[in-house]
Each structure stands twice: as structure tokens, then as C-alpha cells.
Amino acid sequence: MKTVITQSPKETFQLGMELGKQAEAGQVYCLSGDLGVGKTVFTQGFAKGMGIEEHVNSPTFTILQSYEEGRLPLYHFDAYRIGDAEEMEEIGYEDCFYGTGVSLVEWPEQIKDIIPETGIWIRIEKDLEQGFDYRKITINK
């Protein structure tokens, strides 16, 4: 386990970028944290680290957004509106989780049952007592 404190969106982006550079095929990154905490900022850095230049945003209304132009394919999921694992099956999540790309899931708690045991959990938390831009990021790798 590793804990990183960031004090700006830029620092969170850079942490994402570092991890994106190291990401390997078949890994599933589970990014948890409340709305507005910085999951998308982190993901944007992560994508950059994977060599993706295309703009990455919250896939909220699509559940899955794939990016094919990087070092490896990146599958960006937003499970916020997922009701059950069946919806994930319809999307074909298994080809992503167990394929040759890297998956990154926002709101992974929604689909806990289908997250592989090898999933890498990353939690982003605010602590307003530490300031508005403070984020504690815990990586369970």
C-alpha cells in the first residue's frame, strides 16, 4: 500500500501519469472516491501516461469509453449507473478485464462482484480541514 498526498489537480494528474506509464496489459484499476474528488483528473493523467493524446472525460453517459491510440488499449468505465453485473456483461466487460488492454473503473463498488482479485484499488479522499485542494490517494497494489 502506498499513500500520496496531492495539493492540486496538476499533482493528481501527474500521479495518474506515472501509473499510466507503468500500466500493464490485463490490469484492472479501480478508482474510488466521491463525486468531484478527482477521479477524472487522475484518469486524464493516466491516459496521458499510456500515450493517449485524445481528450478523456467522464464516460458517465456511455459507461465504457475505449481509447485505442496509446501504448495499450485503455478501457475507461464509469459504473455509477450500473444496476447489476448483467449490464456489464452486455457491454462485454470480460474482453476488457481479461484482454490485452488496461481497464480503469470509476465507481468500482457498484460492480464489486466482478472485479478480479488482482484489481488494483486506488482511493481518492478529500479532507477539508487540510484545505480545499488537498487529496489523499491510497494505492493498494
Residues near Mg ion (CB under 5 A): 39-40, 58
Please check whether residue 120 is in contact with residue 140, taking contact to mean a CB–CB distance below 8 angstroms: yes
Q: Which is nearer to Mg ion, 54 or 89 (CB)?
A: 54
For residue 134, the tally of other CB atoms under 10 A from its CB is 15
Burial class (CB in 10 A: 0-12, 13-18, 19+), 17: middle
Q: Which is nearer to ligand ADP, 81 or 89 (CB)?
A: 81
Q: Which is nearer to Mg ion, 39 or 135 (CB)?
A: 39
Could you tell me the smallest distance in angstroms from the CB atom of residue 41 to Mg ion? 8
Residues in contact with ligand ADP by the rule CB under 6 A: 6-9, 11-12, 33, 35-41, 58, 133, 135
Could you tell me the smallest distance in angstroms from the CB atom of residue 84 to ligand ADP? 23
Concatenated DSSP letters of 1-51: -EEEEESSHHHHHHHHHHHHHH--TT-EEEEE--TTSSHHHHHHHHHHHTT
Q: Which is nearer to ligand ADP, 71 or 123 (CB)?
A: 123
Phi/psi class of residue 19: alpha, beta or left (left: φ > 0; alpha: ψ in -120 to 50)? Answer: alpha
Residue with smallest beta-carbon separation from ligand ADP: 38
Could you tell me the smallest distance in angstroms from the CB atom of residue 44 to ligand ADP? 8
Could you tell me the smallest distance in angstroms from the CB atom of residue 86 to ligand ADP? 25
